[in-house]
């Protein structure tokens, strides 16, 4: 275990914390594998009624760790990142996200698969896939268009601009913006309320709300296929090289 994903079960609540604060909780292959394992175990653990996802320090997640990403590219559907996606997308119990800071890339798309989400006022969100010559993931190309309409989804995914917590709330991406010093208490209180409810009824209600599960799984697979193709592109090599050289990428030759 890397120690970069920390879990704790208390009073029926599993808290899964991305624990790499010095890297703004950027996610590595090992972290995806650990998170996927935790969700699969929690699925059948009767001691777990609710899951809370959060981050350490002042960040929720800065998305993929690009160095690790290039060393361990997700080339097939069994890659840890896709195992994590499928584990969360199909998870039958309530999931709450406590967004304690920046949420970039999968740090934002993960919220589409949480049943509740609360964020601090300083949280910043961004979907920068196209900037890296990549495509959307985690079924965000499907779910954002469905929830926000094609125009707004296109804006978020193609312009890839940052937006704040109030904007995220207006999109319905989070339930509410809450004071930073109250985030943990508010999320824990919501989790306790859920943990006290009849678990089978909660699971059945979630299943009804998520009746499009096969379509979501299919879109994750389609995005993964195109994502894999993009990993071989000259555009991606230029984008990643420019990132590490701290310069603006030049896509004029493509």
**Res 246 pLDDT > 70:** yes
Spatial separation of the C-alpha atoms in residues 8 and 51, rounded to whole Å: 10
pLDDT at 235: 97
**Res 35 pLDDT > 90:** yes
Percentage with pLDDT > 90 across the chain: 97
Reported confidence tier of residue 1, pLDDT bands at 50, 70, 90? low
Residues 114-139: what's their mean pLDDT? 98
Domain borders along the chain are: 5-180
pLDDT at 76: 82
More confident residue, 125 or 70: 125
Residues 167-176: what's their mean pLDDT? 98
pLDDT at 77: 82
Percentage with pLDDT > 70 across the chain: 100
Nearest to 228 by CA among 85, 97, 69: 69
Whether the CB-CB separation of 160 and 129 falls below 8 Å is answered with yes
Spatial separation of the C-alpha atoms in residues 206 and 204, rounded to whole Å: 5
Residues 43-60: what's their mean pLDDT? 98
Whether the CB-CB separation of 48 and 91 falls below 8 Å is answered with no
**Res 188 pLDDT > 90:** yes
- pLDDT tens column, 64-112: 999 999 999 998 888 999 999 999 999 999 999 999 999 999 999 999 9
Whether the CB-CB separation of 30 and 3 falls below 8 Å is answered with no
What is the pTM (predicted TM-score) of this model?
0.96
Domain 5-180 has CATH 3.90.76.10: no
Q: In whole angstroms, how far apart are CA 41 and each of 36, 163, 180, 207, 241? A: 9, 34, 30, 19, 38
pLDDT at 75: 83
């Amino acid at each position: 275990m890397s120690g970069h994903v920390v879990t704790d079960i208390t009073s029926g609540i599993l808290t899964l914390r991305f624990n790499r604060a010095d890297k703004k909780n950027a996610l590595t292959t090992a972290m995806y594998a650990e998170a996927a394992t935790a969700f699969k175990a929690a699925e059948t653990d009767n001691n777990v009624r609710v899951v809370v996802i959060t981050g350490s320090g002042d960040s929720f997640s800065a998305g993929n760790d690009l160095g690790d990403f290039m060393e361990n590219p997700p080339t097939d559907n069994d890659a840890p990142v896709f195992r994590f996606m499928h584990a969360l997308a199909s998870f039958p119990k309530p999931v709450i996200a406590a967004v304690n800071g920046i949420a970039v890339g999968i740090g934002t798309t993960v919220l589409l698969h949480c049943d509740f989400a609360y964020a601090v006022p300083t949280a910043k969100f961004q979907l920068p896939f196209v900037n890296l010559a990549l495509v959307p993931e985690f079924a965000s190309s499907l779910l954002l268009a469905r929830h926000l309409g094609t125009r707004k989804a296109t804006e978020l995914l193609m312009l890839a601009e940052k937006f704040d917590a109030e904007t995220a709330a207006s999109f319905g991406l989070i339930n509410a913006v809450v004071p930073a010093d109250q985030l943990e208490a508010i999320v824990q209180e919501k989790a306790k309320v859920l943990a006290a409810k009849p678990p089978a009824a909660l699971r059945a209600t979630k299943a009804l709300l998520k009746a499009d599960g096969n379509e979501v799984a299919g879109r994750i697979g389609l995005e993964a296929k195109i994502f894999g193709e993009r990993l071989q592109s000259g555009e991606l090599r230029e984008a990643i090289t420019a990132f590490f050289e701290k310069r603006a990428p030049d896509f004029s030759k493509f």
